[in-house]
Amino acid sequence: MTLTRDVLYPAAAAELARIDGKPLSNKERLAIPHQEMPCQAPEERACNMREVALGYSAEQARVEAARCLQCRNAPCVAGCPVLVDIPLFIGKMRDGDFAGAAAVIMKTNLLPAVCGRVCPQEKQCQLPCTVGKALGGVEKAVQIGRLERFAADFAREGRLVPPPAMKPPSGKRVAVVGSGPAGLTVAADLRREGHDVVVYEAFQKPGGVMVYGIPEFRLPKEIVRFEVSALEKMGVRIETNFLVGRTRRLKDLLDGDGFDAVFIGSGAGLPKFMDMPGENLVGVFSANEYLTRTNLMKAWDRERALTPIFPSRRVAVLGGGNVAMDSARMALRLGAGEVRVLYRRTREEMPARTEEIDHAMEEGIFFDFLSSPTRVLPDGDGKVRALEVKNYRLGEPDASGRRSPVGIEGSEHEAAFDTVIVAIGNESNPLLARTTEELVVDRRGHIIVDEKQKTSMERVYAGGDIVLGAATVILAMGEGRRAAAAINELLSK
């Protein structure tokens, strides 16, 4: 249930007044109420592009931080791909030192406001939290991500965090392909060591998936711009509209342009389709195209957008991940009268974050579980008229451990739609592999790397979705940190 500021903020202020300055036992800390995040009301947010979650108040942040037991073994840190010193930053927040907390986070995480909003903390740092385990579920864990978001926003709004310290110029140059989470992380860590870094971005704006893939209502683009600007202030040069593999080949960067090393963080931007009849009809979109046009090109701004999106009345979204939730919620905000998510399994098997599913349901999006289309049906003008949908039941677990969907014969039926958004994942763009014979990839086009993120080519490293497939922001950043460490080691010889 969505709760508002006028309910949550006064309650937190009263709780803080009760506990502030008092020594608390672990038992007393476990009794402190978990702090919910206030959000826009569903009926309001479904009609605007503003951020849904409104953020903690200062009192909420301090109360939530007071729940932390400051465990000596810090299991939360082990669950963080970039190894943020979580107990230290939370301890500072408990004491009201929000700027100090932000400074701790930014020692290892250049994108705290982004990660605090979109990373699946419930599967990473919050999963091993001792408080959650003591209270019977990860939903009761200390809300590390929300605290990180508050600290980052506090520092950003007050311009309180100084730029990272940098070593003197090393005389070494590194090219970074892609300005997504992995690329930006590599660039920051390399620049700290004094290396000259140039980031090459294929799109017209830096930020990668944070700009073109994640909607404004989940991640405001001003936040991405601010966190990217921190890199530019460090002296990192970002060149947009530069497609490595076309504008320049990968080998040209090393042999012709004088770079001492290259990091590839180009992401996984090639959309998957279901290979069913009718997917070429007008009104069928990949989620990649749909979200890129609405996010990067602001197609939602109908009066000023140069590339307005296809107008929809009844929208089917195929898939069960976060991208499917983003697509469905975006379609609703673009004016669709009805949006339905079709998923072959049940809610329990959906890979999307629980919070995103809850928000979608609150906003009025329908979920058709245990159903999936077999073909897209046309009208007389080459446009989508309907889907033929088949019902499923769950069978035995598949290789991933999830129960496999089994089609129910004879259950096929028509469902009227004029728009279909396919959100079943992305694959790696084959451009780099096709233009670089020495670069070894697997059968899915993912670049193969060793434990230090080194590719089959000398002086070339890779990380993020181009290696993992579609993953999370923080996992991509973790790979970026490993790659940066290896490149720094290489350049120090």
pLDDT at 428 over 90: no
What does DSSP assign to residue 462? Answer: E
SS3 content of the chain, % helix, strand, coil (to 5): 40, 15, 45
Query: Does 271-425 match 5-158 at the fold level?
Result: no
Q: Supply the CATH classification number for the domain 173-268+428-491.
A: 3.50.50.60
What does DSSP assign to residue 23? Answer: -
pLDDT at 110 over 90: no
Sketch the domain layout of the chain as residue ranges: 5-158, 173-268+428-491, 271-425
The whole-number average pLDDT for the span 93-104 is 95
C-alpha gyration radius of the chain? 23
* Residue 2 pLDDT class (50, 70, 90 cuts): low
* Residue 444 pLDDT class (50, 70, 90 cuts): confident
CA-nearest of 458, 432, 425, 460 to 446 is: 432
CA pair distance 36, 9, nearest whole angstrom: 10
- Amino acid 93 reads M
Quote the pLDDT of residue 471. 78
Tokens of 134: 């003591």
Non-local (6+) Cβ contacts of 489 within 8 A are: none
Instruction: Output 347 or 311, whichever has higher pLDDT.
Output: 347
pLDDT at 4 over 80: no
Would you call 214 helix, strand, or coil by DSSP?
A: coil
Give the full edge-to-edge strand order of the sheet including 338-343: 284-286, 419-422, 314-318, 338-343, 366-369
Quote the pLDDT of residue 42. 95
Residue position matching structure tokens 């084959």: 430
pLDDT at 300 over 80: no
Tell me the per-residue pLDDT of 233-265, one tens digit each, with 9 for 90 and over: 999 999 999 999 999 999 999 999 999 999 999
* Residue 1 pLDDT class (50, 70, 90 cuts): low
Selecting from 1.10.150.20, 1.10.3720.10, 3.30.1300.10, 1.10.1060.10, what CATH number does the domain 5-158 have? 1.10.1060.10
The whole-number average pLDDT for the span 331-342 is 96
Quote the pLDDT of residue 235. 94
Contact indicator for 268, 427 with CB cutoff of 8 Å: yes
pLDDT at 160 over 80: no
Would you call 273 helix, strand, or coil by DSSP?
A: coil
CA pair distance 461, 448, nearest whole angstrom: 10
Non-local (6+) Cβ contacts of 5 within 8 A are: 38, 54, 57
CA-nearest of 275, 313, 320 to 425 is: 320
* Residue 5 pLDDT class (50, 70, 90 cuts): confident
pLDDT at 163 over 80: no
CA pair distance 214, 95, nearest whole angstrom: 33
Q: How far is CA 242 from CA 10, 197, 235, 446, in A?
A: 50, 15, 19, 21
Assign a CATH topology to domain 271-425.
FAD/NAD(P)-binding domain (3.50.50)
Would you call 137 helix, strand, or coil by DSSP?
A: coil
The whole-number average pLDDT for the span 410-415 is 97
Contact indicator for 370, 349 with CB cutoff of 8 Å: no
CA pair distance 417, 337, nearest whole angstrom: 11
Tell me the per-residue pLDDT of 370-408, one tens digit each, with 9 for 90 and over: 999 999 999 999 999 999 999 999 998 888 788 889 999
Residue position matching structure tokens 């409104």: 54
pLDDT at 78 over 90: yes
